[in-house]
Amino acid sequence: MAMNMAENKTLDYALRALQLIFAIIVMGTDGYAIHVFRGHTVYEQFEFGNFYDYYGVPDAWGFLMFCAAWTVLIVIFHLFAGISFADRALIGYIRVAVEAVAVLSWLAGFIAVAVQISTNTCSEGKAPCGSIKAATVFGAFEWLLFMVTAALTVMVVFNSSRKPRASTTKPGAAV
């Protein structure tokens, strides 16, 4: 049953469409949070001297935006690779590697942003907090979707029986 589910093209297209939709939602909510967040200058006082320190948009928010953009490229690659190069072993291994990188980047991205939600960066009363929380939730769902598609891709690539391109028998061999 698992192999039938892994080779189901309709299921694959539905999961890829969900990944694309969630990536667009993350781009929109994260982009809005980045746009609305206002960096601020803080006057720091130390015993060795005083200085002004600027706090800008957290790096994790930008990394989540990268993950969403990377997802759009991954979905396009998988649709193209599934149609054009379905019987090539190397493309199958590249698909597995791309899925693994996507799973790890989404895991790192949504956890990094979730950790910053509880800090002073996103305290109550600040404008981008609601949208960055939404981006974090959709990032977690995106990670779950990539876990499913990565498992299905691994099953398809490593359990498929590929036909050799050349004959394994010698031309003069007796049959």
Domain contains 173: no
Residue 124 has pLDDT above 70, yes or no: no
What's the CA gap between 36 and 53, in Å, rounded? 20
Question: Quick one: three-class SS letters along the chain?
Answer: CHHHHHCCHHHHHHHHHHHHHHHHHHHHHHHHHHHHCCCEEEEEEECCEEEEEEECCCHHHHHHHHHHHHHHHHHHHHHHHHHHCCCCHHHHHHHHHHHHHHHHHHHHHHHHHHHHHCCHHHCCCCCCHHHHHHHHHHHHHHHHHHHHHHHHHHHHHHHCCCCCCCCCCCCCCCC
Name the β-bridge partners of 55. 40
Structural domain count of the chain: 1
Please give the residue range of the domain that contains residue 20.
2-159
The strand pairing partners of 41, in sequence order, are: 54
Rounded CA gap, 146 and 75, in Å?
Answer: 11
Q: Whole-prediction pTM value?
A: 0.79
pLDDT tens, position by position, 26-65: 999 999 998 888 776 777 788 887 887 777 788 899 999 9
Question: Which residues are CB-neighbours of 91 under 8 A, at least 6 positions away?
Answer: 81, 85
Does residue 49 belong to any structural domain of this protein?
A: yes
- 119 Cβ neighbours under 8 A, 6+ residues apart: none
Tens-digit pLDDT profile for residues 99-120: 999 999 999 999 999 998 877 6
Q: 128-157, pLDDT tens digit by residue?
A: 788 999 999 999 999 999 999 999 988 888
Q: Report if residue 18 sits inside a domain.
A: yes
Written as six digits, the tokens of 135 are 């981006």
CB 136 within 8 A of CB 22: no
